[in-house]
């Protein structure tokens, strides 16, 4: 007999369902069909844009973060969830320029994604170069089920249970 326990995490389960629905719709209708972006900007699309890929032993994430410095970016990983956050500062000189159009976005961002597998956060690595954040997350080694043989009690001992006398 095998017993397994599953931690119930409704918010994570909902996020996983959301990501799976987005992935499915992207495959059928293209990337613009996603229903619920993780973080929306004024244009309604998730930011920063991410590429998530997987190899046999790790998960790789690339994020475009133009105009930021590495000390303005925070990366957190826990089990099967990755969070990238930070703030892009507005460096425009508003009092000396008359802007006709502003398409660049500024301000705080916070993007959380469910990873396809659990990863070892202690061995995670992140680099930032030319506006691209690259994260490598080694996968955890899955714990396989162990079969335990049930044996009869020996010598009249049954691990602390009294015989009733």
Tally of CB atoms within 10 A around 98:
5
pLDDT of residue 34: 38
Q: 63-100: per-residue pLDDT in tens? A: 999 888 999 999 999 878 899 999 888 776 666 777 77
Task: Say whether both 79 and 28 belong to one domain.
Answer: no
Distance CA 146, CA 130 (A): 47
Q: Which residues pair with 130 in a beta bridge?
A: none
Q: 10-62: per-residue pLDDT in tens? A: 555 666 677 667 666 655 544 443 333 344 344 455 778 899 999 999 999 99
**Residue 163 falls within a domain, yes or no?**
no
Question: The domain containing residue 13 runs over which residues?
Answer: 8-37
**Residue 149 falls within a domain, yes or no?**
no
Task: Give the C-alpha distances (Å, rounded to integers) separating 106 from 67, 68, 72, 74, 97.
Answer: 10, 10, 13, 16, 17
Task: Say whether both 26 and 80 belong to one domain.
Answer: no
Which CATH number covers residue 132?
2.60.40.790
Distance CA 141, CA 123 (A): 13
Radius of gyration of the chain (CA): 24
In this structure, is the dihedral angle defined by the CA atoms of residues 76, 84, 35 and 52, taken in order, positive or negative?
Answer: negative
Q: 97-119: per-residue pLDDT in tens? A: 777 777 777 788 899 999 999 89
The total domain count for the chain is 2
1 versus 158: which is more confidently predicted? 158
**Residue 165 falls within a domain, yes or no?**
no
Task: Say whether both 130 and 60 belong to one domain.
Answer: yes
Task: Say whether both 72 and 131 belong to one domain.
Answer: yes
């Amino acid at each position: 007999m095998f017993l397994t326990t599953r931690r119930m995490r409704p918010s994570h389960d909902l996020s996983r369902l959301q990501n799976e629905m987005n992935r499915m719709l992207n495959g059928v209708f293209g990337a613009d069909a996603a229903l619920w972006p993780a973080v929306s900007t004024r244009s309604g699309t998730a930011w920063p844009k991410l590429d998530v890929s997987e190899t046999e032993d790790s998960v790789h994430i690339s994020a475009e973060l133009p105009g930021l410095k590495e000390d303005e970016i925070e990366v957190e990983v826990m089990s099967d969830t990755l969070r990238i956050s930070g703030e892009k500062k507005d460096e425009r000189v508003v009092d000396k320029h008359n802007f006709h159009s502003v398409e660049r976005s500024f301000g705080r961002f916070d993007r959380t994604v469910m990873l396809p597998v659990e990863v070892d956060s202690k061995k995670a690595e992140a680099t930032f170069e030319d506006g691209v954040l690259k994260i490598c997350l080694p996968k955890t080694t899955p714990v396989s089920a162990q079969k335990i043989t049930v044996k009869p009690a020996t010598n009249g001992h049954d691990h602390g249970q009294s015989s009733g006398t």
